[in-house]
Structure 1
Amino acid sequence: MPGIHNLARTEAAERARLLSDVTYRVELDLTDGSGAPGEQTYSSRSEITFRCAEPGAATFVEISAETLRSATLNGTPLDLSSYDAEKGLAVPGLAAENVLVVDADCVYSTSGQGLHRAVDPVDGEVYLYSQFETNDAQRTFACFDQPDLKAKHTFVVTVPKHWTVVSNSPVAETAEREHDKVVTFTEGALMSTYVTAVCAGPYHEVRDSHDGIDLGVYCRKSLAEHLDADDILTITKQGFDFYHAQFGMRYPLAKYDQLLVPEYNAGAMENFGCITISEEHYLFRSQVTDFEYEQRANTILHELAHMWFGDLVTMRWWDDLWLNESFAEWASHWCNAEATRFADAWTTFLALRKRWGYGQDQLPTTHPVYTDVPDVETVEVNFDGITYAKGASILKQIVAYVGRDAFVRGLRAYFPKHAWGNATFDDLLGALEEASGRELRGYASQWLTTAQVNTLRPEVAVDGDTYSAVAVLQEAPADYPTLRTHRLAIGLYDLDGGKLVRRKRIELDVSGERTEVPELTGERVPDVLLVNDDDLTYAKIRLDERSMATIVEHISHFASSLPRGLVWAAAQDMLRDAELPARQFVQLVATGIAAETDVSLVTILLRTARQAINLYADPAWQATGRAILTSALTDALRTAEPGGGLQLTFAQEYASLARTPDELAVLRGWLAGENVPAGLTVDTDLRWHLTQTLVALGEYGAAEIDAELARDNTASGQRQASLARALRPDADSKADVWHQITTDTKLPNWLQRAMLQGFWHSAQLDLLAPYRDLYFTDVAGVWGRFDGEVAQVFAILGYPSLLVDEATVAATDQWLSGDHPAPLRRLVAEGKDGVQRALRARACDIAAGA
């Protein structure tokens, strides 16, 4: 694909100063001229009207085209000789009122950026969808591709007759012609280019309405039988009701469409009124658990929150990306917990999303939540756990700091004041300060402009059976010594009738190295003292000795899932920080899952225990660790509710851990329908999971993969088969996979990702050892030749993170000593940190076993 212009903030500011009152009419012809879908390129004509504050000035317009056919400004042809997709098209001699017309041939994408083209292997039908964040609208039409030049857009799209076309606004008219049809949409509301959208193809459609809003859910025709539109629409309606009530401002468009689309790079995208969602993650062909349903609900509500925060009111520049994503992250969990059946959504936020933030924040490449973004390329690698999860955690704490009622009042003032425009975090703080009467800029600054995470520890003095003194100690890493103000709660839990029940809760501000808690002096010593009860602040926590001893025996006995999640999180932090040996963590999980009822916690804990075995445990103990966990899972499968989510989770994790001949025989039996636990359905996705384990261990080969693909010759089946082929423990097969993912720039994004997901496996370390050096030989070339998303995936998934030894660290250091682009250096350095962390954890585990 042609390159794109890496817009600098200074360029954007100057262009926004010059230009205003922008409108677009975009005409796209997505046929080959005979009524069939186009294959390589499509015609794009943009007519842009705008005003210029300084007549005679010059500007530029972005357009990433294979062929730029013509461009005129106010009827005069522009010079195209110096056009370069990576620089844009120069537009000199502006008048006060301007009409710019650009005709081009643009390229269909297979990387998930721009206008992506996917072919359904079931029926050969073509599906298109756009993905324009952060600045990929220019891949489809000529535009001023920056968030603060909002405009009204009219899309006119020519497609095959049997296709459906969806955009941000409703269809105004459809003109049937001999071989095709032309669909014209109504002029859209003011919006940034990155949230415009065009989706086209023979999509299956389900329609509904709610509170005066027209609703649509779409998927590929071949997946219509699996589309549970009722559940998607139920969550959507609950979200609209909740946000309308809380934000005090109605959703401003007439319709709201959600399209489940193939070959998607992310989870979803908040195109205004035209949401695109990953079918791979959220269209369920087989049985899934409430963990997956909750994740889908959270994604639906995240994108819905963006309709207000991001689309209606938009960041001025990408340095406020964190606020855009953090707000949607916080709001979606708030709504999920209070308006849907997922009342424990904040537990999942803690156990999953916040863990992501903590992990990202402890990397050597950590950065403040608010970062300087001089150009668009800089922000591309900032779609990370700090931007999303840490930012959302800070917002959650601000809610606790000012009070929920005041926070909501601030939002209700903020939205109408900045509707249809652009705003900054300072604008939001001003609204919250006015609503709450509390000064927030200093408070926010210590959280937003500094990096890394604090650790909070209780310090207790006991006199008999009461506390004589309690304090909270705050620590910070030496390289990031900031001690922050934490709004938090402390909970006192007692064992009562076999349950850990909260007896007392106090809320306070903690600041500095030591904060005394006089409210607890004279209080009877509880069985568990829990710092950061209710998870109000963003910090790692530790337990005092008595509490830790109670937890080892009674971790599953908390009546609520949130304190259980907090204690499990503390154990996970101690594991990663080499304070808790991997063998002890694995044993804790093996014991705890038998009584744990929250399927989200079980899913996350089992994944973490598997990671602990593969990365953090003494290699000599790893087989023992797997045996402990598979034995616990075998017992859990016997007692789990037949057909329930926990049973499925236990079966999936058993398959991931299986290594011994007896364990592999169990998997082969399940595939053959033998000795399957009562109630467990070995459906399509579970069959692939079992098959992939057997392939990775050399039990199955090409014939078995082909047989499974024959059973499931769908887009998902092809992806699973590609992953399975990459898992084959064969030197020639690995070499072929590596060659494709490092040289074939036309490799579709879904295929590249599947091959990388299957390439590395913890049972194949000897076979994979040569690819440590090959990664460092190839990564810079991949970064330079491939589209950004694909290059990032290779940099992350291709890194030899399973080769936990000093040789990997040394090879990384040697590569980092060279001259490489800063975003790529960041991703490689993060891989190295993971290996170093694993080495420290292994040393801890080895010492524990000595």
Structure 2
Amino acid sequence: MLKTHFLLFLLINAAALNAYTAVEDSLTESGVSEALARQRAASLDSLSYAVHFIIPEARQANISAELELNFLLRDTTTALILDFKAADGAVSDIMLQGRSVPWRTINGHLVIPARLLTAGKNRLQISFTAGDDPLNRNENYLYTLFVPGRASEVFPCFDQPNLKARFTLTLTLPAHWTAVANGPLQRQTTSGDWQTWSFAATPPLPTYLFAFAAGEFQRISKTIDGHELEMYHRETNISKLARNSQAIFGLHASALNWLENYTGIDYPFQKFAFVLIPDFQYNGMEHPGAVLYRASSLLLDESATQRQKLGRASLIAHETAHMWFGDLVTMNWFDDVWTKEVFANFMAAKIVNPAFPDIDHRVRFLLSHFPPAYAVDRSAGANPIRQHLDNLAGAGSLYGAIIYQKAPIVMQHLENRLGARAFRDGLRDYLRKFSYANATWPDLIAILDQRSDEDLRQWSHVWVEEAGRPRLRTVLHRTEDRIAGLSLLQDDPAGQGRIWPQKTTLLLLRQGTDLAFSTDVSAASTPINEAIGEPIPQCILPDSSGLLYGEFIPDSTSMAFLLRAIDTIDNDLWRASAWLILYDNLLNGTIPPEQFFATLLNGLHKESSELICNTLLRTLRTLWWRFLSADQRTHFAARLESLLRERMQEAGEQSFKALWFNALQDVVLSEEGVAWLFSVWSGATTVDGLTFSQRQYTRMALELAVRPGQNSDSLLTAQLARLSNPDRRARLQFVMPALSTRKAERDSFFISLKNPARRTHEPWVLESLRYLNHPLRAAGARHYLRPGLELLRDIQKTGDIFFPKRWLDALFSGHTSPQAAAIVRQFLEEHPDYPERLRGKILQSADLLFRAARLQRPRDAGD
């Protein structure tokens, strides 16, 4: 009898499998195709997931799980297709309406035949073994990270942003573990060595925002202005925790209050908790009720720089802004992922202002957003803000500086065109209309367009749908010592004839009174008639507001002034803008590196703004390692180190001192300078006014280890012995082989990175890769370039969203030679059909390498 029933089951199952249509097969390509997403969005409604994970303490042990999925179904003519990218045999049973049903597994999908479906309410129950990678399992803790489409690597789901659902989570864990999730804890029960945590159902969320963390965490809670805030952490340094906690909680509370006031909507989720993860892949991730942060981004050292303090405040404001922009209202498809990121960054820039009243926030906005956006837009791999996406599998490649840094600049332009009040009121309408739902960029533009006399759709096209930036220059006609005519010219470097409309205030710098002329740059040539008859200026700057976007080519008189006397520009915003202009002209080959270096040294000697100093020191690192030859570095080392030590000693604030010290340890080369740094690391020398953490001592040890003449093995072993925190010890142990004096050990370490399991801790991998390719070892690291490029597609497949670009940045970081550039170009030539966005990432990351190789004269370069 049992045999007969089994044969009957096989016959039924076979008949069901043969019933799949060609249409259904076309929807089951790997990933989530746009076609599948549209079909499901039209067919499904009222989703809820109840998931139970049983998680053993042993990292290698399987995680058993149960899922109940309830939904309304409109279309029963097409098979039900869920996403589940798990190992073969991971699903043990599927029940629909309480009865076991057959299913097919194909290309990371579970397919249930259409004939078994019922219009209306459906209840699906699945028993399965959970996938592992996005659970980020460590020795005694784990955390989920599902963005953009990795939830389906862990449990069966409809893994697309416009199928929001309510999630009810149950976790069965080792009894000594703690757990935190999106929803509030409802109950907690203990049975022997196990403890079960049951969390309340969430408001509607997309799958990428469903999250939990569990393990050996400590909890701190505070209530500020009616908001109960919870922090989970693993920090063992009690003084560091105490020193930072007040600021961390206070910044969250301030951000919540500001956003509630600006949006007119109370915090839209049930609770606000955040988890500090050691070496988290990102700086932060906005899961409502369970925000994840990189611990070191919030728990700052005592000598944290102004930039690091601002960065912490901006990060907290960014993730908090996401609760409204991204979580409450979510993009319909990941081609509009930029809309959540632009508002998070744009709002963050507004939120942090009151917390830092002594800072010129216009300068900060300029220096935080323009350089990284320009770095992409000047490259051959430039991409538009809004990019087409035909499959969710490629969504990670959409992320980058254009959506995080250029988009807020564009949004600032939009706010200026509408007016701050009209812009805010439009956003309020948008948030109310699409609360707990999904929206597109055209949805928002349609709302804002009603509040403007301009055609915002047309304005949006070149800024949002097109890549690149304009090239700007001034043309001045003179009659003796007076202006006879002045125009601002705009052209398209790509030769497509595009015009980027924007407002600017042209600035004429003169001895005595400077002159400013406001204009709308909306044509190839914009005359500045008001300037006619004015005396010839010393210098013309294209903008006094810090918002004009583009490459500016100064006239010869202005260029000579900036190279000679940029430090005499009193206004911080104008001076910061001028530095960006000079850097652009270094990279385009107009200014020789040695001449730029002389101007930069003079600027560093006199600059008083910590914000501008930070940018100049970052520019110094690039110039020093990429555009000066090894001989030039040797020649200038003592002079540069003396300047940096002098500025460090005279700096008043500890944060300002740390800025100079950090730059010094990154560029130090002279025998005397290296000996001094070693003396600081060993404790034989102290730096007045600076206190170093173990993290900073580790950084010193790493920089010393890569300098010639150092015994890196003994030095790093000594530093390892100093560390007591297990997470910091594990990181250093991982990185150490990348700094070995033995080339064979370094090569073996690089080869080990081909194994995805070795790339689990992405920040560790990136730090190691940077030291493998350090400029002082670049000539012996060139052979990593080709295999590193060949790994890129696997890195995209197995890593998180920022990892491919950061891998490339680290891989190319120390290389400047024509030989290295040729390896990259050859790889691209040999792969003409390489995925377009990954190709773009390679071109973006290799841009400085290509420019350095072109500028390089025959010389004894470090690479």
TM-score by length of 1: 0.91
- SS at 2:46 equivalent: strand
What letter matches 2:137 in structure 1? R
What letter matches 1:83 in structure 2? T
Among 591, 596, 604, the alignment partner of 1:585 is: 596
Is 2:75 aligned against 1:54?
Answer: yes
Corresponding residue of 2:791: 779
Is 2:789 aligned against 1:767?
Answer: no
Q: What's the CA shift for 1:721? A: 4.7
Whether the 8 Å CA contact 2:233–2:275 is kept in 1: the answer is yes
- Distance 1:552-1:822 versus aligned 2 partners, 3 A rule: closer
Q: What's the CA shift for 1:87? A: 3.1
- SS at 1:770 equivalent: helix
Among 65, 84, 92, the alignment partner of 2:86 is: 65
Among 526, 535, 538, the alignment partner of 2:549 is: 538
Q: What's the CA shift for 1:679? A: 1.7
Q: Tell me the number of residue pairs that the alignment of Structure 1 and Structure 2 aligns.
A: 821
The answer to which of 281-290 and 190-199 deviates more is: 281-290
Mapped partners of 1:378, 1:809: distance in 2: 27
Q: What's the CA shift for 1:85? A: 6.1
- SS at 2:754 equivalent: helix
- Distance 1:531-1:370 versus aligned 2 partners, 3 A rule: same
Mapped partners of 2:802, 2:363: distance in 1: 33
Corresponding residue of 2:256: 240
Q: Structure 1 stretches of 5 or more lacking a match? A: 120-125, 497-501
Corresponding residue of 2:409: 393
Corresponding residue of 1:24: 49
Q: What's the CA shift for 1:625? A: 4.1
Mapped partners of 1:276, 1:657: distance in 2: 33
What letter matches 2:776 in structure 1? A
Is 2:481 aligned against 1:470?
Answer: no
Mapped partners of 2:593, 2:192: distance in 1: 68
- SS at 1:373 equivalent: coil
Q: What's the CA shift for 1:377? A: 2.7
Mapped partners of 1:91, 1:597: distance in 2: 70
Residues 329-728 of structure 1 aligned to structure 2 (within 5 Å): 329-338=345-354, 340-341=356-357, 343-463=359-479, 466-493=482-509, 503-523=514-534, 527-641=538-652, 644-697=654-707, 698-714=709-725, 715-728=727-740
Corresponding residue of 2:129: 105
Whether the 8 Å CA contact 1:265–1:789 is kept in 2: the answer is no
- Distance 1:224-1:95 versus aligned 2 partners, 3 A rule: farther
What letter matches 1:222 in structure 2? T
TM-score by length of 2: 0.89
Among 177, 181, 193, the alignment partner of 2:207 is: 193
Mapped partners of 2:735, 2:79: distance in 1: 50
- Distance 1:245-1:384 versus aligned 2 partners, 3 A rule: same
Corresponding residue of 1:86: 108
Q: What's the CA shift for 1:677? A: 3.3
Whether the 8 Å CA contact 1:24–1:47 is kept in 2: the answer is yes
Mapped partners of 1:51, 1:349: distance in 2: 46
Corresponding residue of 2:754: 742
Q: What's the CA shift for 1:490? A: 2.6
Whether the 8 Å CA contact 2:131–2:155 is kept in 1: the answer is no
- SS at 2:747 equivalent: helix
Q: Show CA shifts across 1:566-616 (max 9, x none).
A: 111111111221112222222222211233233233223212212112212
Whether the 8 Å CA contact 2:775–2:813 is kept in 1: the answer is no
Corresponding residue of 1:116: 136
Mapped partners of 1:789, 1:91: distance in 2: 33
Q: What's the CA shift for 1:515? A: 0.3
- Distance 1:790-1:558 versus aligned 2 partners, 3 A rule: closer
Q: Show CA shifts across 1:396-426 (max 9, x none).
A: 1111122212211211211111111111111
- Distance 1:832-1:208 versus aligned 2 partners, 3 A rule: closer
Mapped partners of 1:522, 1:217: distance in 2: 63
Among 145, 153, 156, the alignment partner of 1:142 is: 156
Q: What's the CA shift for 1:239? A: 1.4
Residues 230-309 of structure 1 aligned to structure 2 (within 5 Å): 230-285=246-301, 287-309=303-325
Is 2:769 aligned against 1:756?
Answer: yes
Mapped partners of 1:342, 1:89: distance in 2: 59
Q: Show CA shifts across 1:294-317 (max 9, x none).
A: 111111111111111111111100
Mapped partners of 1:512, 1:331: distance in 2: 31
Whether the 8 Å CA contact 2:492–2:499 is kept in 1: the answer is yes
Q: Show CA shifts across 1:491-515 (max 9, x none).
A: 445566xxxxx85544321022210
Mapped partners of 2:490, 2:805: distance in 1: 37
Whether the 8 Å CA contact 1:204–1:224 is kept in 2: the answer is no
- Distance 1:772-1:636 versus aligned 2 partners, 3 A rule: same
Mapped partners of 2:227, 2:76: distance in 1: 43
Whether the 8 Å CA contact 2:271–2:289 is kept in 1: the answer is yes
Mapped partners of 1:742, 1:797: distance in 2: 17
Whether the 8 Å CA contact 2:712–2:741 is kept in 1: the answer is no
Q: Report the RMSD for the aligned CA atoms in angstroms.
A: 2.7
Corresponding residue of 1:6: 31
What letter matches 1:206 in structure 2? I
Q: Structure 2 stretches of 5 or more lacking a match? A: 1-27
Q: What's the CA shift for 1:554? A: 4.5
Whether the 8 Å CA contact 2:32–2:391 is kept in 1: the answer is yes
- Distance 1:799-1:330 versus aligned 2 partners, 3 A rule: same
Mapped partners of 2:395, 2:797: distance in 1: 20
Q: What's the CA shift for 1:795? A: 4.9
Whether the 8 Å CA contact 2:378–2:469 is kept in 1: the answer is yes
Mapped partners of 1:785, 1:381: distance in 2: 11
- Distance 1:4-1:107 versus aligned 2 partners, 3 A rule: farther
Mapped partners of 2:50, 2:128: distance in 1: 14
What letter matches 2:791 in structure 1? V
The answer to which of 144-153 and 370-379 deviates more is: 370-379
What letter matches 2:352 in structure 1? N
What letter matches 2:470 in structure 1? N
Q: What's the CA shift for 1:536? A: 2.2
Whether the 8 Å CA contact 2:375–2:844 is kept in 1: the answer is no
Q: What's the CA shift for 1:357? A: 1.1
Corresponding residue of 1:161: 175
The answer to which of 589-598 and 266-275 deviates more is: 589-598
